[in-house]
């Protein structure tokens, strides 16, 4: 049987960029037809917009929310920081995708405890509800980031602790499988650099780049959802799935987006909490990393969860964005395939809207 057939699925942070794509893919029944998909988030306006889109409505009155709790796509206003609203959302749920997060690096630097509240305490609340209320959740997939690997930012530190909380949860909740996925920058997600560059280009520049040397792993929202589904299907308890990814120089990304336009690039320096290059697998993690086709699987650090140690590690060095760089032509093709290359005609239309 497909893993989501007749399952009740909860997506925390389901109104975010990744959450929306994940929900759309769930409703397509790629891994089986869910009994219900529940979007859990604290933004009622985004929930309303998402519901309207799903119902293909332009305008609506209160009746669209009637019978919400019985619909295939159901919405719950709440916050993973709040134990009680999370308890209500987790009731009778089979699968959890935790996409709720504070994820903008500078924001987390200026409001570090807010990042702790969501990315650590909120994550612990998921484990606590399942443990204390004995909810028979089958699988929890925690969504992490390359910034959790050897973290230097608040966002990365809190995401690294999310990973460790979920690994340990396999001991605390032995009837639930907790796994994680870790990947790099998602193209065109909210708060990412591409929407910023596109807006700067629309306004005639300059396009602001940190430094000429900075590199980042890149993937599309669809590839992010693919990685989550791969972990759901194949990850063993406590494993962290890492997608094999390409990377690019941020300066190359800016130049490809600018194209033939007469727009200047301005270097503004590294922002608070940023690295020059990102890591997906650290030197410490190499010895416990296995090859799983399109992904690496980092084995859990706790010996009680570690399934086996008699394997040949898949890597002999850190997996860094400095080593997997693509050319400008390859980057241009990647952006074009993702629909992110903006023509001058599109630019003029956008400015008129």
Give the separation between CA 159 and CA 166, rounded to whole angstroms. Answer: 11
From residue 34, how far is each of 41, 54, 145, 148, 235 by CA, in Å?
Answer: 19, 16, 27, 31, 20
Residue with tokens 């909860």: 10
Per-residue pLDDT of the chain (353 residues; tens, 9 = 90+): 899 999 999 999 999 989 999 999 999 999 999 999 999 999 999 998 899 888 887 777 677 777 788 889 999 999 999 999 999 999 999 999 999 999 988 899 999 999 999 999 999 999 999 999 999 999 999 999 999 999 999 999 999 999 999 999 999 999 999 999 998 888 877 667 888 899 999 999 999 999 999 999 998 889 999 999 999 999 999 999 999 999 999 999 999 999 999 999 999 998 888 899 999 999 999 999 999 999 999 999 999 998 666 788 999 999 999 998 999 999 999 888 878 886 644 443 333 23
Give the separation between CA 251 and CA 74, rounded to whole angstroms. Answer: 42
From residue 273, how far is each of 56, 67, 122, 151 by CA, in Å?
Answer: 41, 45, 22, 9
Task: Please state the length of the chain.
Answer: 353
- Residue 244 known to be catalytic: no
Q: Which two tokens stand for residue 137?
A: 């959740």
pLDDT of residue 350: 38
pLDDT of residue 342: 65
Query: Is the preceding omega at residue 206 within 30 degrees of 0, hence cis?
Result: yes
58, with CB counted inside 10 A (0-12, 13-18, 19+), is exposed
DSSP state of 192: S
Give the separation between CA 222 and CA 22, rounded to whole angstroms. Answer: 8
Q: Are 108 and 157 in contact (CB under 8 A)?
A: no
Model confidence, pTM: 0.91
Q: What is 8-352's CATH number, 3.40.50.720, 3.50.50.60, 3.30.930.10, 3.40.50.2300?
A: 3.40.50.720
Catalytic residue among 7, 147, 159, 275: 147
Q: Where are the alpha helices (DSSP H) in the chain?
A: 17-27, 44-55, 83-90, 105-110, 112-116, 122-132, 154-172, 193-202, 221-234, 250-258, 328-337, 344-352
């Amino acid at each position: 049987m497909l893993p989501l057939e007749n399952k009740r699925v909860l997506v925390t942070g389901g109104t975010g960029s990744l959450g929306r794509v994940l929900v759309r893919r769930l409703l397509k029944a790629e891994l089986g037809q869910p009994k219900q998909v529940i979007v859990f988030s604290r933004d009622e306006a985004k929930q309303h917009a998402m519901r309207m889109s799903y119902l293909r409505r332009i305008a609506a009155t209160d009746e669209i929310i009637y019978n919400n709790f019985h619909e295939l796509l159901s919405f719950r206003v709440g916050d993973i920081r709040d134990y009680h609203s999370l308890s209500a959302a987790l009731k009778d749920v089979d699968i959890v995708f935790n996409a709720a997060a504070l994820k903008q690096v500078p924001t987390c630097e200026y409001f570090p405890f807010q990042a702790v509240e969501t990315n650590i305490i909120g994550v612990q609340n998921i484990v606590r509800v399942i443990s204390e209320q004995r909810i028979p959740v089958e699988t929890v997939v925690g969504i992490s980031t390359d910034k959790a690997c050897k973290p230097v930012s608040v966002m990365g530190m809190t995401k690294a602790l999310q990973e460790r909380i979920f690994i340990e949860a396999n001991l605390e909740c032995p009837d639930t499988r907790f796994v994680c996925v870790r990947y790099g920058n998602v193209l065109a997600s909210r708060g990412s650099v591409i929407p910023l560059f596109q807006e700067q280009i629309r306004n005639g520049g300059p396009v602001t780049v940190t430094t000429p040397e900075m590199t980042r792993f890149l993937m599309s929202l669809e590839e992010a959802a693919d990685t989550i589904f791969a972990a759901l299907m194949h990850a063993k308890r406590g494993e962290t799935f890492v997608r094999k990814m390409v990377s690019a120089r941020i300066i190359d990304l800016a130049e490809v987006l600018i194209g033939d336009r007469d727009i200047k690039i301005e270097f503004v320096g590294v922002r608070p909490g940023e690295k020059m290059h990102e890591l997906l697998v650290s030197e410490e993690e190499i010895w416990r990393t296995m090859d799983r086709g399109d992904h690496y699987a980092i084995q859990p650090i706790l010996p009680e969860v570690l399934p086996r140690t008699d394997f040949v590690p898949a890597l002999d060095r850190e997996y860094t964005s400095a080593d997997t760089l693509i050319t400008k032509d390859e980057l241009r093709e990647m952006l074009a395939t993702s629909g992110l290359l903006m023509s001058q005609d599109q630019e003029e239309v956008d400015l008129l809207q």
